[in-house]
Structure 1
């Protein structure tokens, strides 16, 4: 019997994955997995179980009333989980916390496979997962416990979902907790991770994409590009990768490899430092030609430090740019800021 993977994204950033059998309603599948999604009637009458389907195909049937879900709401992607029967893998945004649904974050273990420094700027951390490969959406992050510190740090996956070896691009910070620990870390060391987390992830690709990466904010886009390459996306995709110094430009060879695999993918690298000899100098917003905005018919994804996020938002407002959708994630050197749209 066919089954579909359903990602339930809760408003506190926690994501849980469940299997939904062919012909099974999402609400029933969640209960079977001991996740209590909001509900009162379970008959399509009250509307309590209303969520938003962000990707995938499904059937809502006609056994619900307009007071529970209007035709306009259904057209916009709202669903009643008590009526929704998936016809593919789906992503569903649940408008409440994971705790309210009697579930929570997942923990898993992984072993260090390789630690690769890139200049004095970044570190690529590769881990081999001990047991089942964790499910996540391209763009999401995990919290990694720093051994013997009682603290954790948040990092986006740079690898694609489904791989036994998972990767992260980590900013190298002088005196940083994780940076210092990784300098002496040995292959085979066990790490504890919590996740996946975050509402910054690749949605259904139905129009051109504009990716804006700041520094190690490149990581989630590498995950997204791998997924897009594997699925043979035919949409136009443009990445603008901005850094402070020349040495901060890392993994450019990886980006070039995606340009070879994705015929409609292009990218620009930008260095802010005035002393740089790089061809494109300045800020990301100074290298955003009109053609990559497609007159607003574009989905924009942005991951970078807070000043970059705010600068792009101001640029859009000041220039009347209104993309079809705008998803962003801010991060500081030590953590992902829990703000995304």
Structure 2
């Protein structure tokens, strides 16, 4: 069981994932043992060094990365923008890890559904499967407005080319605004027909869904229509 700690974290790097998404990597004062898919609360520090404003973020890093943890977020006003004013070497507060949206190592056939930056905890799960060399066959259906605002494309494209047990499908909801992409791609909002093109034996598989409420509800409804029972579905909304 992961032990939750309240501690300081130092900003190590900031990476541009796409036009609108950043990944921040932090080094913790003390190592923690998150489970794949869990989250933590990150705090800005007040002038006196105490914890101030905070926000919950899913961890996008693999659990095996020790005292290094990463978060991936879309650039929006308020807290994310304040985070981005910090330079490398700056400190923030951290409390975690916690959360019940956790990968099941016993799963043999898994489908991930991510809406935009909802891919973050799913990336942690996928990295976990790779690091542990778990015998899982994985499909990731990732919905974004366009190619330009799709995080982790290079990572998933390379993984799908190297690993026959991993399939990545990019679903673009605004194709007229999107740049070309030479990987597997669907256009428009997810439908039962689109899912059936890529997912066979739907009731037998395990599902992880993460994204905004309308997205998670839509995917859940599609899966129920395909005969998937509740015990096969885990989801998290943000």
Contact 2:146 2:175 in 1 (8 A): no
1:218 aligns with 2:119: yes
1:219 deviation in Å? 0.8
Secondary structure of the corresponding residue to residue 280 of structure 1: strand
1:231 to 117, 132, 137: 132
Secondary structure of the corresponding residue to residue 162 of structure 1: helix
1:307 to 188, 197, 214: 214
Distance 1:258 1:109, change over 3 A: farther
Contact 1:160 1:226 in 2 (8 A): yes
- CA distance in structure 1 between the partners assigned to 2:224 and 2:127 by the alignment: 31
Q: TM-score, normalised by structure 1?
A: 0.62
Contact 1:239 1:268 in 2 (8 A): yes
Contact 1:245 1:276 in 2 (8 A): yes
Contact 1:210 1:298 in 2 (8 A): yes
Q: Which has the higher helix share?
A: 2
In the alignment, which residue of structure 1 is the partner of 2:26?
A: 127
In the alignment, which residue of structure 2 is the partner of 1:62?
A: none
Cα shift readout 1:88-138 (whole Å, capped 9, x = no counterpart): xxxxxxxxxxxxxxxxx531221001122344411111111223x111100
Distance 1:246 1:295, change over 3 A: closer
1:293 deviation in Å? 4.3
1:178 aligns with 2:76: no
Contact 2:105 2:134 in 1 (8 A): no
- Once the two structures are superposed, the pairs formed by residues 327-338 of structure 1 within 5 Å of their partners are 327-331=234-238
Unaligned runs of 5+ in 2: none
Distance 1:147 1:275, change over 3 A: farther
1:240 aligns with 2:141: yes
Secondary structure of the corresponding residue to residue 247 of structure 1: helix
In the alignment, which residue of structure 2 is the partner of 1:281?
A: 187
Point out which structure has higher relative CO (alpha carbons under 8 A, 6+ apart): 2
Cα shift readout 1:211-258 (whole Å, capped 9, x = no counterpart): 001111111111111111122222211000111233211211111233
- Once the two structures are superposed, the pairs formed by residues 70-81 of structure 1 within 5 Å of their partners are none
Q: TM-score, normalised by structure 2?
A: 0.86
Unaligned runs of 5+ in 1: 1-6, 8-15, 18-104, 332-341
2:100 to 189, 195, 199: 199
2:16 to 97, 103, 117: 117
Distance 1:189 1:241, change over 3 A: same
Cα shift readout 1:15-66 (whole Å, capped 9, x = no counterpart): x44xxxxxxxxxxxxxxxxxxxxxxxxxxxxxxxxxxxxxxxxxxxxxxxxx
- CA distance in structure 2 between the partners assigned to 1:167 and 1:223 by the alignment: 9
Secondary structure of the corresponding residue to residue 135 of structure 2: coil
Contact 1:241 1:284 in 2 (8 A): no
Bigger radius of gyration, 1 or 2? 1
- Once the two structures are superposed, the pairs formed by residues 1-341 of structure 1 within 5 Å of their partners are 7=1, 16-17=2-3, 105-131=4-30, 133-148=31-46, 150-163=52-65, 164-173=67-76, 176-277=77-178, 279-285=185-191, 287-289=194-196, 292-322=199-229, 325-331=232-238
Secondary structure of the corresponding residue to residue 80 of structure 2: helix
Contact 1:229 1:262 in 2 (8 A): no
- CA distance in structure 2 between the partners assigned to 1:142 and 1:217 by the alignment: 15
Runs of 4+ with >4 A deviation: none
Over the residues paired in the alignment, what is the CA RMSD in angstroms? 2.1
- CA distance in structure 1 between the partners assigned to 2:18 and 2:205 by the alignment: 34
Contact 2:202 2:227 in 1 (8 A): no
Distance 1:290 1:271, change over 3 A: closer
